[in-house]
Chains A and B, each alone.
Chain A
Amino acid sequence: MVWLIAVLEARRWLNRGPFLRRGKGKRDATQRKGAPAKLLLAFVTVALSFNVVTNASRIVRGVAEAAERDSAPGDAFVSHGVLRWLDDIVGRGEDVPSAYDSQQEELEAAFLFAGRTETGDGSLSARVDELRRIWKERGRAGFHETQIDDAPWPTRGLWYSGADPTRMLAPLALICLLLSTSVIGLAVVGSDRDLARGDERLEWWFSFPVPTRALLLARLLGSTLVQPLGWLLLAPFFLVVFWCAGYGPYVGALLALAAGLYFTLLGACLRVLAETGLRRFLPPRRVAHVQAALEVLSAVPLIGAFATSSKVGLDYMIELSRALSLGFVFNPLSLPIAWLLPRGALAALGALMLLAVVVYGTVSAGSALLRDGLLSASEPVLGTRARKPVSEGAPRAFWRQVAARELLAMARDPARLARVTLVPMVTIGLAGLSDPRLFRGIISEPMHASAAAFGVGTLVLAGGGLVTLANEGPGLWMLYTAPWSLDAILARRAALWSMLAGAVVLASLIALAIIARDIRFVFNGYAVLALFGVGLYGFVSVALGALGTDVLESARARRVQPLTAQVFLLLTGMFTFALYSPSGWAKFAQLSLSSLFAFALWQKLRDHTPYFLDPTEAPPPAIAVSDGIFAALSFFVAQGLLGFLFMRLRFSPGLVMVFSFSGAGLLVAVAALWTLHRIGVPRLAQTVGLASLGSPLRTVSLGVLAGLVAGAGASSYTQLVQRVGWLRALYEESERIDATPEQLRWLAVLAVIAAPLFEELIFRGILYRGLRRSLDTRTAILASAVVFAIVHPALSFVPVFGMALCAATVFELSGSLFAPILTHMIYNGIVLFITLRSWT
């Protein structure tokens, strides 16, 4: 019975991923729309384990190096190669102080090399200074060969087995304590259910003719098996530790499994006690508060543990562990580390006994708590409070009502409120604590301050806007009964979250300005950029979160695809590039591309909102902005790859240029058209303008006329460049092609034939059509021209922008892609002619 229920629990968990699902449902009726990213999830699982293994190896190595240093304080441990280098210098028969003067260059190189081979991000110059000092004071005698390998993988060589085992074990025990505390804490609270609401399955199980103790045992087993964080984080960590400590990979894996089992079982016991005990002694509202508080508290040690992947964080942890005695290793939350002591078997026996006692205690306490049966399901989950009748007032604007509802629901949900307010603060605070230099860096310059404030803002968005649709849950049907489209409602919510995050950014900047005593932290271009950024990303968060939400999923925590938050934070990271990019031009380009991306996401959202509650229907296929972005990106990537390939094949530079450009263009054009055809875009050839010439005379004359206008614009622009100082400087900075006549011929082919063909298909046929679907003609022309111009060099922005305006206009007017191709050909021909003439 116990086994049956545990297996059911594990099966239920496994069924969440289709790639793990066993067997096939008899009826295919509820086959759902394709859920993306499931395979990606498997990939991330593997990548995460890999990451834990390499990080744990780094931690073990760092601890071993520190232990080795402690064995001979004041001396330096360097690699075999460096030592031979030093021996060589000494071997030339000079005494040490004079050797420093005569061999300074060589020594500095050796020290620099030694400093660099050490792990991580500690200050290199400080380390070099230290090595220099040791050489001056103690000479060759101050240097020893390190016994620690520098492998990035677990090996026996990463362990330092010097005299005192505390030196190795105490820091590891401390890190283990952080990891296990958070894993156990999250096992208790971070589940997919509200603790306050209890588990409906428990109620179901109580209907079986089984004693309470067996039910609780089954629950324990099920919760033990289903603890992804425990198995993905703790088990690989212990695998590395045991492997390096000399048990090898196989015994190490067994011991790691045992350690993982130890902690997941402890977590499961606490979970079961919390489930049964908290609800018995506390009103449900309080239970919700306790759960929210525990969730935030469990995140704190986890962040601490992650901080040890940086050298500064690890050194800090090692420093802390110096104050600990060997007895610390025996604390229950680090106990598996004690298995490494000479009498480790005793510690293992202790762990086993402790587990037995805890499991027995949990089952006994649980059955005592449940002696009166489960709490009745009708127990109120939330408190009630008498309220004054709602005052009569003027009708509130629709969007204020949407905002009021969102804020009210958040304010009353302790877990959500904590995620939006506390988690960003705790994260930033801890990052500052674990590395004080970081904080000093932030208040050293407005640019860093703005980037940090933007980071806080995005964390608010990740806790708020990203989950706004998921929080709607089964109540989403209500929004479908209102005479508003769901995307209109979501747009207002996005605006709300943009404003909230903007307020948080502003508050952070003001706080930093007060700390730095410099009002310029608030009033500068970077601050404006950060505010614009959170405004934009408020919309990105809502769109991305909504698209990544499975509203038909009943469990709240599983409604959002696990990768959504990571993707969102990755995208905000890209925006941070805009803050740090060197020139105004690069910033403008980053901003434009970010905005285009936000627009593409929002267009996708608008396409999908009517189908959210329909398990099988998807929006009708159409060309989207995202298709254009994807085609353009593929075009650039394919050019690079093909260029590399042709260069390896020893083609002449001119041919490489033409072949890679045309090859990439052809590849992307065929792939894009084939994909759009396969997804079933109706009237594809007409839409991208390849179906007909339209009226041939009109198409040709429009194309030629627009090409001449754009060419004339480019010609006047070159005159302007010669006259305006800063433009001229930009011109002279820009690279001049030193081309042979053969290359020039190919360049002409490229500019006049290949570029117009492929670029027009991608930027007009696909991207402009995607934009035009959601924008009016004028705005779509403008937007597509900006995008086309920013993927060109800064100097040519103005004329290319003009050409793109002309090309999009004639495309819209003629409906045929041949018109803009002609325009582009004539424009490029004129520009090529002007350029060549200016060189001769």
Chain B
Amino acid sequence: MASLLEVSALTKRFGEFTAVDGLALSVESGEMFGLLGINGAGKTTTMRMLMGILRASAGSARIAGLDCFHDRVEVKRHVGYLPDEPAFQDYLRGREIVRFVGEMHGLSGAEIDARASKLVEPLALADAMDEFAVNYSRGMKKKLGLVCAMLHEPRLLILDEPTSGLDPVAMRRLNELLHAYVAGGATVLLSSHQLDHVQAICERIAIMSAGKLAAIGTLAELRARASAESSLEEIFFAITEPREPVGA
């Protein structure tokens, strides 16, 4: 059976600058997959291509066998997306935004309320749902975006730096939510700069550098490239800054 997410030779150029360069990776159903890389490594561009927001300059990306750009409408039924900086339209309350997202996915009002409360309660967002979303803090916007992404219970969750701006309590709740979600058979692809967080929850990890895939594998497989005892942080530095010897 084919992987849920299949990326091959994926390339995105902006003029003369190549943001993603021949990326190839696949993510299986039920995986928690981490995408790492320094700023400008091409993580966000990759995720935006998976969402059909950007068109790949070359190569292909397929989710559940569907082309991410050409079948972009159908792909959205299987995918939930949290952008790096979720922004919301002015003059709409949190509850109204969630309602809108749910109804766009064809859910009934009752279903939306039931599913939203299961997400809103653990994220401690319930009190803010009647507030206008533009007044939200950065972390609250992330939480609201997360609720929107998970509402239609997609097979694949694409989360761009879900932890940035979250407080430690919310981060723990997020981990619990994601674990439960993956345990239910769904798949998560997330990018992050918090290496310990990725180390704690992801089964497989890909490290991108200058648009290319620098390393991929489980933590153990990655350790094989450095030393057996090294943390993900040490591996990360070893791969992204190869001139600096590990542990030096």
Interface string of B11-50 (1 = CB under 8 A from A): 0011111010000000000000000000000000000100
Complex: how many Å from CA A27 to CA B18?
Answer: 11
- Binary per-residue interface labels of chain A (384-415) against chain B in the complex, 1 for a CB within 8 Å, 0 otherwise: 11110111111110100100010011001100
Say whether A398 contacts B76, CB under 8 Å. no
Of the candidate stretches A315-323, A481-489, A689-697, the one touching chain B is A481-489
The reply to whether A29 and B14 form a contact with Cβ atoms under 8 Å apart is yes
Q: Are A378 and B101 in touch, CB under 8 angstroms?
A: no
Closest to B40 in A: A29
Whether, in the assembled complex, B104 has its beta carbon less than 8 Å from a beta carbon of chain A, the answer is yes
Which of chain B's residues have a CB closer than 8 A to the CB of A395? 103, 106-109
Q: Which chain A residue shows the least CB distance to B152?
A: A483
CA distance A409 to B73 in the complex (A): 25
The answer to whether B51 has its CB under 8 Å from any CB of chain A is yes
Is B54's CB under 8 angstroms from A378's CB? no
| A393 x B135 contact (CB < 8 A) | no
Cβ–Cβ < 8 Å partners of B17 in chain A: 27-29
Within 8 A of B (CB), among A674-714: none
The answer to whether B15 and A386 touch across the interface, beta carbons within 8 angstroms, is no
Contact B87 A481 (CB under 8 A): no
A387 CB contact (under 8 Å) in B95, B109, B149: B95
Cβ < 8 Å to B, chain A residues 334-387? 378, 380-387
Which residue in chain A gives the minimum CB-CB distance to B107?
Answer: A395
**Which residues does chain A contribute within 8 Å of B113, judged by CB atoms?**
389-390, 392
- Is B76 in contact with A481, judged by CB distance below 8 angstroms? yes
Q: Given that A401-B100, A408-B91, A483-B73 are contacting pairs, would A613 and B54 also be in contact in the complex, using a CB cutoff of 8 Å?
A: yes
For residues 574 through 616 of chain A, which have their beta carbon under 8 Å from a beta carbon of chain B? 610-611, 613-616
Q: Quick one: which of B223-237 are within 8 Å of A by CB? A: none
CB neighbours (8 Å) of B108 from chain A are 392-395
Confirm or deny: A30 has a beta carbon within 8 angstroms of a beta carbon on chain B. Answer: yes
Q: Scan B100-119; emit 1 where CB is below 8 A from any A CB, else 0.
A: 11011111111001000000
| Residue in B14, B72, B89, B95 whose beta carbon sits within 8 Å of that of A610 in the complex | B72
Quick check: is A43 within 8 A (CB to CB) of the other chain?
no
CB neighbours (8 Å) of B74 from chain A are 483
Encode A459-500 as 1/0 by CB contact (under 8 A) with B: 000000000000111110110111111000000000000000
Is there contact, CB below 8 Å, between B15 and A481?
no
Minimal Cβ-Cβ distance residue in A for B75: A483
Instruction: Indicate if the CB atoms of A382 and B137 lie closer than 8 Å.
Output: no
- Asked whether, in the complex, the Cβ of B137 is within 8 Å of the Cβ of A485, the reply is no
Is the CB–CB distance between A481 and B80 below 8 Å? yes
Query: Which residues from chain B contact A742 at a C-beta distance below 8 Å?
Result: none
- Picked from B16, B101, B103, B131, the residue with its CB within 8 Å of the CB of A481 is B101
Partner of A385, one of B13, B19, B130: B130
Which residues of A780-802 have CB atoms within 8 Å of chain B's CB atoms?
Answer: none
Shortest beta-carbon distance from B107 to chain A in Å: 7
Residues B54 and A474 in contact, CB atoms below 8 Å apart: no
A480 x B89 contact (CB < 8 A)? no
With a cutoff of 8 Å between Cβ atoms, the chain B residues found around residue A94 in the complex are: none
**Given contacts A382-B91, A396-B103, A482-B101, are A31 and B109 in contact (CB under 8 A)?**
no
**Chain B residues numbered 131-148 whose CB sits less than 8 Å from any CB in chain A:** 131-132, 134-135, 137, 148
B52 x A610 contact (CB < 8 A): yes
Give the docked Cα–Cα distance between A778 and B187 (Å).
Answer: 46
With A and B bound together, what is the CA distance between A399 and B73 in angstroms?
Answer: 16
Interface contact A616-B104, CB-CB below 8 Å: no
Q: A390-B109, A392-B113, A472-B89 are in contact. Are A31 and B95 (CB under 8 A)?
A: no
Report A389 CB to chain B, min CB distance, Å. 8
Contact of B53 among A27, A28, A31, A614 (CB under 8 A): A614
Give a binary string over B61-103; 1 marks a CB under 8 Å from any A CB, 0 the rest.
0000000010011101101110100111111110111011101
Contact of A477 with B53 in the complex, beta carbons under 8 Å: yes
Q: How far is the CB of A643 from chain B (nearest CB, A)?
A: 46
**B132 CB, min distance to chain A CBs, angstroms:** 4
Number of interface residues of B (CB under 8 A): 54
Q: Say yes or no: A30-B105 contact (C-beta < 8 A), given A387-B93, A408-B91, A478-B148.
A: no
Q: CB of A203 within 8 A of chain B?
A: no
B15 lies within 8 A of A28 (CB): yes
Question: How distant is the Cα of A30 from the Cα of B16 in the complex, in angstroms?
Answer: 9
User: In the complex, A474→B88 CA distance in Å?
Assistant: 7
Asked if B51 and A480 sit within 8 Å, CB to CB, the answer is: yes
The interface residues of chain B lying within 8 Å CB-to-CB of A611 are: 55
- Please judge, given known A-B contacts A381-B132, A401-B100, A483-B104, whether A392 and B87 are in contact too, CB under 8 Å: no
**B147 CB, nearest partner CB in chain A, Å:** 12
B139 to chain A, nearest CB (A): 12
Say yes or no for A617: interface residue by CB 8 A criterion: yes
A514 to B: closest C-beta gap in Å: 35
**Residues on the A chain within 8 Å of B134, using CB:** 381-382
Checking A380, A390, A478 against B101 with a beta-carbon cut-off of 8 angstroms, the contacting residue is A478
| Chain A residues, Cβ within 8 Å of B83 | 477
Residue of B whose beta carbon sits closest to that of A383: B132
Asked if residues A409 and B53 are in contact (CB atoms below 8 Å), the reply is no
Q: Which of A30, A382, A413 has the most C-beta atoms of chain B within 10 angstroms of its own C-beta?
A: A382
Q: How far is the CA of A616 from the CA of B56 in the complex (A)?
A: 11
Cβ–Cβ < 8 Å partners of B73 in chain A: 483-485
**Distance A378 CA – B140 CA, assembled complex (angstroms):** 12
Given contacts A381-B134, A408-B96, contact A398 B103 (CB under 8 A): yes
B14–A473 touching, CB < 8 Å: no
Q: Is the CB of B53 within 8 A of A384?
A: no
Once bound together, how far apart are the Cα atoms of A401 and B108, in whole Å?
12
- Closest A residue to B111 by CB, please name it: A395
CB-CB nearest in chain A for B145: A478
**Closest residue of chain B to A617, judged by CB?**
B55
* Top 8 A-B pairs, shortest CB-CB distance: A29-B17, A474-B87, A475-B89, A412-B91, A482-B104, A382-B132, A395-B108, A483-B76
A-B contact pairs, 6 of them (CB 8 A): A390-B113, A405-B92, A481-B80, A483-B105, A613-B53, A615-B14
Given contacts A389-B113, A392-B108, A393-B109, 11 further A-B contacts (CB under 8 A): A29-B16, A387-B93, A391-B109, A409-B92, A475-B90, A481-B79, A482-B101, A483-B104, A483-B106, A484-B73, A484-B76
The chain B residues found within 8 Å of chain A, CB to CB, are 13-17, 19, 48, 51-55, 57, 69, 72-74, 76-77, 79-81, 83, 86-93, 95-97, 99-101, 103-110, 113, 130-132, 134-135, 137, 148-149
